[in-house]
Amino acid sequence: GENVEQHPSTLSVQEGDSAVIKCTYSDSASNYFPWYKQELGKGPQLIIDIRSNVGEKKDQRIAVTLNKTAKHFSLHITETQPEDSAVYFCAASILGSSYKLIFGSGTRLLVRP
Amino acid sequence: NAGVTQTPKFQVLKTGQSMTLQCAQDMNHEYMSWYRQDPGMGLRLIHYSVGAGITDQGEVPNGYNVSRSTTEDFPLRLLSAAPSQTSVYFCASSGKDSRETQYFGPGTRLLVL
């Protein structure tokens, strides 16, 4: 089955700097890769996703890149702000079956004011 | 729209006790899933449902039962609680109209003594 590995487990950056979180997946059949943000005491919330027919996707300060050959994808947050502090999860699944997400282990991001 | 609701928010059980974690959604979503979240392990899929009357196992189904008698509700049953089931449980829903986005509930924190 699918296995998703995520690094780093914790990341501390200065406000205004960029943050990068990386994930690798094992199943070449996976073609949908979402990123979820989880704030303390809340459920995860989708922030951006990418499908395997696209190499990069941006949404304001957030971008995701995908390398299908190497089976890895990354989340990039630019101009970080204190409210970006949270736990971020990558995940993988097959399009049309996102109710069966396989998650990475999470990255705790701390943005220092 | 309340979205995805879960009850209770917090529960303490003794080993061997049974209980049901409730999950309901008011978005008319076809798909619903249960995940557990443990420190350093991300979210792992327990069971999922693609419609009323249809359920299937995820990554970690042992010790849990589910049923889906209506579109709105997807309860998770622990038949005989074990300390290894101490975790935070999240319910999620999605539909053909949500473009793969999983909507998560606020979670139930379960402690088994």
Q: Give tens-digit pLDDT for A39-86.
A: 999 999 999 999 988 899 999 999 999 999 999 999 999 999 999 999
> Which residues on chain A are in Cβ contact (under 8 Å) with B106?
41-43
pLDDT recorded at residue A23 = 98
> What chain A residue is nearest to B94 in terms of C-alpha separation?
A99
pLDDT recorded at residue B36 = 98
Determine, for residues A98 and B41 on separate chains, whether the beta-carbon distance falls below 8 Å. Answer: no
pLDDT tens-digit readout, B68-83: 999 999 999 999 999 9
> Which residues on chain B are in Cβ contact (under 8 Å) with A4?
42
Residues near A106 by beta carbon (within 8 Å), at least 6 away in sequence: A6, A9, A38, A87, A88, A89, B40, B42
pLDDT recorded at residue A95 = 86
Q: What percent of chain B has pLDDT over 90?
A: 88
**CA distance linking residue B47 with residue B66, whole number of Å:** 7
Q: What percent of chain A has pLDDT over 70?
A: 100
Determine, for residues B4 and A43 on separate chains, whether the beta-carbon distance falls below 8 Å. Answer: yes
Determine, for residues B58 and A44 on separate chains, whether the beta-carbon distance falls below 8 Å. Answer: no
Lowest mean pLDDT among A3-7, A80-84, B98-102: B98-102
Residue that has been written with the tokens 């950056």 in this structure:
A13
In terms of C-beta density within 10 A (0-12 exposed, 13-18 middle, 19 or more buried), how is residue B110 classed?
A: buried
> Which residues on chain A are in Cβ contact (under 8 Å) with B41?
105
Contacts for B79-85 with beta carbons within 8 Å, 24 or more apart? Answer: B79/B18, B80/B16, B80/B17, B80/B18, B81/B13, B81/B14, B81/B15, B81/B16, B81/B17, B81/B18, B81/B19, B81/B110, B81/B112, B82/B15, B82/B112, B83/B15, B83/B112, B83/B113, B84/B112, B85/B36, B85/B110, B85/B112
Is the pLDDT confidence value at B13 over 90? yes
Determine, for residues A105 and B42 on separate chains, whether the beta-carbon distance falls below 8 Å. Answer: yes
**Confidence tier at B57 by pLDDT (50, 70, 90):** very high
Residue A111: closest CA among A75, A86, A74: A86
Q: What percent of chain B has pLDDT over 70?
A: 100
Residues B7-19 have a mean pLDDT of: 97
Q: Chain A: nearest CA to B107, how far in angstroms?
A: 6
Is the pLDDT confidence value at B46 over 90? yes
**CA distance linking residue B38 with residue A83, whole number of Å:** 24
Determine, for residues A42 and B106 on separate chains, whether the beta-carbon distance falls below 8 Å. Answer: yes
